[in-house]
């Protein structure tokens, strides 16, 4: 049973109210978002068109880039437009949709990172059975489970958001809708809601991070029995994954595992994992992966050849 709400729209206070700083944010966010789209869509196109990138690792990388693109798109375009406005507003229904999509694609990214760790574990620790265990059918089922799990998590967020009564204050001290800033506007005791939030989002972030770190410790320990070339290649891949995991999970754990308190730095930290990390992921994976770089070069050559023929 939902409590009645008198609020039909919210005012987003953003990162700053200073007109000059808002113009700077417009440029920065626009450049970051364009870079995110370019980098991730390039990876998606490269994996889709290259026969050399048909292994399960690149199958999961495809979905990581897809989730990065969608994750950034749930926040960046509106933030870019809002930075040009004197007062940014968002309707109640749009706010709820943003909460759902933000958590859906954020959670999907977490699950894809876990699947990538599983893939590396099987490839390094059980190489003889790799193609049997990580078959196309199994990989497809794992990704489907990740989508279903993300949907369940997001529906829980919606359930919590809709159970909050809003009867007056409508200024969200943030640049997008999320449960933490919404909790501050609710005109009822939010202790239980906050507890459920921490046990849901906080637990997913923390448990997933610990699982990933343990899995990579096991993987790195198992490399002692590999050849020098095998160690080099496996280390290059694993280090890329570990960097992405730390960059994404560090800020998420800080935000979602605390009681109902907010700090001035929260918005800047949220900016890092919602805008910055989706931009850094393609850079990390392409700069440290020779196969992806070679596939991109081949894709570029094919484009040049086709353009010359025209």
Check if the beta carbon of residue 219 is closer than 8 Å to that of residue 121: yes
CA–CA separation, 152 and 113 (whole Å): 18
> Would residue 307 count as lying in a domain?
no
13 has pLDDT over 80: yes
310 has pLDDT over 60: no
Domain limits at 81?
10-301
With 0-12 / 13-18 / 19 or more C-beta atoms within 10 angstroms meaning exposed / middle / buried, residue 4 is exposed
Q: What residues does 12 pair with on adjacent strands?
A: 88, 172
Q: What is the pLDDT of residues 256-309, one digit of tens each?
A: 887 656 666 788 888 888 888 898 888 887 766 777 777 777 777 776 666 555
> Would residue 2 count as lying in a domain?
no
> Would residue 270 count as lying in a domain?
yes
The CA–CA distances, whole Å, from 162 to 3, 100, 125, 156, 173 equal 8, 11, 46, 10, 19
CA–CA separation, 50 and 119 (whole Å): 20
CATH number for the domain spanning 109: value is: 1.20.1070.10
Q: Are strands 88-91 and 9-12 parallel, antiparallel or unpaired?
A: antiparallel
Check if the beta carbon of residue 162 is closer than 8 Å to that of residue 2: yes
Residue the block writes with tokens 């944010």: 25
> Would residue 1 count as lying in a domain?
no
> Would residue 309 count as lying in a domain?
no
Q: What is the pLDDT of residues 84-136, one digit of tens each?
A: 888 888 999 999 999 999 999 999 999 999 999 899 889 888 888 888 899 99
Check if the beta carbon of residue 167 is closer than 8 Å to that of residue 8: no
> Would residue 50 count as lying in a domain?
yes
User: Residue by residue, what is the 3-state secondary structure of the chain?
Assistant: CCCCCCCCEEEECCCCCCHHHHHHHHHHHHHHHHHHHHHHHHHHHHHHHCHHHCCHHHHHHHHHHHHHHHHHHCCHHHHHHHCCCCCEEEEHHHHHHHHHHHHHHHHHHHHHHHHHHHHHHHHHHCHHHHHHHCCHHHHHHHHHHHHHHHHHHHHHHHHHHHCCCCCCCCEECCCCCCHHHHHHHCCCCCHHHHHHHHHHHHHHHHHHHHHHHHHHHHHHHHHHHCCHHHHHHHHHHHHHHHHHHHHHHHHHHHHHCCCCCCCCCHHHHHHHHHHHHHHHHHHHHHHCCHHHHHHHHHHHHHHHHHHHHC
Domain count along the chain = 1
Structure pTM?
Answer: 0.89
167 band by pLDDT with thresholds 50, 70 and 90 = confident
Residue whose C-alpha is closest to residue 282's, from 17, 3, 34: 34
Residue whose C-alpha is closest to residue 59's, from 49, 71, 70, 48: 48
Q: What residues does 10 pair with on adjacent strands?
A: 90
The percentage of residues in the chain with a pLDDT greater than 70, rounded to a whole number, is: 92
Tokens read off for 192: 């239980």
CA–CA separation, 290 and 256 (whole Å): 36
Residue whose C-alpha is closest to residue 204's, from 114, 295, 128, 294: 114
The percentage of residues in the chain with a pLDDT greater than 90, rounded to a whole number, is: 32
> Would residue 3 count as lying in a domain?
no
CB-side exposure of 256: number of CA atoms within 13 Å?
Answer: 27
C-alpha torsion angle, residues 67, 69, 71, 73 (rounded to 10): -150
> Would residue 56 count as lying in a domain?
yes
242 has pLDDT over 70: yes
């Amino acid at each position: 049973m939902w409590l009645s709400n008198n609020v039909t729209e919210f005012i987003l206070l953003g990162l700053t109210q200073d007109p000059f700083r808002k113009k700077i944010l417009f440029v920065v966010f626009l450049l970051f978002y364009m870079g995110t789209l370019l980098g991730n869509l390039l990876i998606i196109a490269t994996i889709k068109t290259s026969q050399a990138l048909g292994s399960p690792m690149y199958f999961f990388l495809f979905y990581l880039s897809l989730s990065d693109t969608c994750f950034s798109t749930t926040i960046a375009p509106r933030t870019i437009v809002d930075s040009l406005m004197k007062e940014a507003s968002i309707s109640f229904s749009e706010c709820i949709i943003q909460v759902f999509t933000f958590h859906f694609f954020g959670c999907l990214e977490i699950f894809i990172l876990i699947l990538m760790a599983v893939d590396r574990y099987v490839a390094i620790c059980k190489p003889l059975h790799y193609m049997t265990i990580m078959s196309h059918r199994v990989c497809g089922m794992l990704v489907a489970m990740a989508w279903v799990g993300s949907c369940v998590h997001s529906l829980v967020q919606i359930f919590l958001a809709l159970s909050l009564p809003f009867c007056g204050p409508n200024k969200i001290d943030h640049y997008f809708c999320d449960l933490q800033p919404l909790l501050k506007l609710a005109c009822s005791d939010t202790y239980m809601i906050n507890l459920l939030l921490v046990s849901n989002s906080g637990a997913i972030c923390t448990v997933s991070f610990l699982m990933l770190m343990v899995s990579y410790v096991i993987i790195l320990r198992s490399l002692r029995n590999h050849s020098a070339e095998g160690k080099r290649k496996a280390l290059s891949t694993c280090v890329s994954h570990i960097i992405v995991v730390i960059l994404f999970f560090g800020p998420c754990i800080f935000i979602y595992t605390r009681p109902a308190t907010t700090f001035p730095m929260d918005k800047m930290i949220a900016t890092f994992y919602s805008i910055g990390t989706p931009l850094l992921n393609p850079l990390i994976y392409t700069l440290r992966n020779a196969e992806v770089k070679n596939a991109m070069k081949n894709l570029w050559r094919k484009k040049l050849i086709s353009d010359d023929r025209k």
